[in-house]
Structure 1
Amino acid sequence: MTRITPLTMDELPDETQAALKFSENLMGYVPNSVMTMAHWPELLGAFRGLVSVIYGESAIDNGLKRLIGAVVSAAAGCQYCKAHTTLGARDVGVDEKKVKAVWDYQSSDLFSQAERAALDLAFAAGQVPNAATDAHFAALDAHYDERQKTEIMAVISMFGFLNRWNDSLATALEDKPFESASSLYQPDQWQAGQHRR
């Protein structure tokens, strides 16, 4: 049970309902994390704005952004976000084999050196204490310009917020991401834990 009760659609103002219905049509569900944020409408609006910028017009492939979110969430230990990001990667067209191999990105031939550099930074930055080093950014320099590096950092940082939000609240995992992650990964790679009681 989520530690702050998510609101229901009926409890939201009409304009918020309309925005979330758009998300529901796009994703097939409304995330419980969003319905919890809805207790503070200004926070929800600001968060929706951040997400739309990060996943909008982009200098970095949106599939890679979802995989960055998955790896930073794995480092932070957030099973809720691991399920959401890997489903999101599939939804934007990342090959299922690649999504399935994301936890082995360092050795899998499905990942390029550029992708590995971004995912290495994501894994390091998701740890506590933060393990990102100058070497991680030097590795990025071989593949990405300043704008692209800024986008990579924006994804990592957004999931820093989401990982803390969802793990602290034990946000209940919705059926669609639960079924996706359960079908993709072995129990040693992903378990819903506190997010699916």
Structure 2
Amino acid sequence: MLQKQLLVIDSNSYHFEILMSSLGQLPQVRFHITRALNMEQGILMLKSKRYDLVLTENFSMEEGEWITKLSEKSRGTPIVILTSQRDDRQAIDAIRLGAADYLLKNKQTLDLLPYTLLKTIEKRKNKFIKPRTTPLDMLSKNIRSLTSLLNEPAKKWAGTGKQIHLTGIKNEIRNIKKIIKNIVLE
């Protein structure tokens, strides 16, 4: 069973109960939910524990101040805003300031909420996997170059029928050392 740690920042107990019910719909996923009643409490919880996602209501602080504060403390954890206020400008600002998603509280959203949150978590996870493949691609390319470099002298020596001279090998080893040094430094 897949297990995910969620921090829910919501002051409304009724809304929180509905969220709990909605998040319990997927049998293959278990959401471990920690609740904060306000932004300050949520920030303290973010400092003490790592979460897979933060789900928060929309707070009425200075324009965007709360989302910026939360983004700074979340250490890259995706933040999803779930609100009953339909405000396109506020949604755009929230995304621009670091929110991963901005959802309107309604029945359809709540029915799909577990799937939406999982997708957001996976998107964030994949974001960090992609850069890791780049150095591997570079290493693979360098290994192919090294293999090619080793094969060329071997083909020449094999085709001549002559004895391999140590000076030739010494120069090839020197070239290989340079390539390996470049691989390590990249």
The TM-score bracket by the shorter chain reads: under 0.3
Query: Going by fraction, where is strand more abundant, 1 or 2?
Result: 2
Structure with the greater relative contact order (CA < 8 A, sep ≥ 6): 1 or 2?
1
Task: Calculate the TM-score normalised by the size of structure 1.
Answer: 0.27
Task: Calculate the TM-score normalised by the size of structure 2.
Answer: 0.28
Query: Going by fraction, where is helix more abundant, 1 or 2?
Result: 1
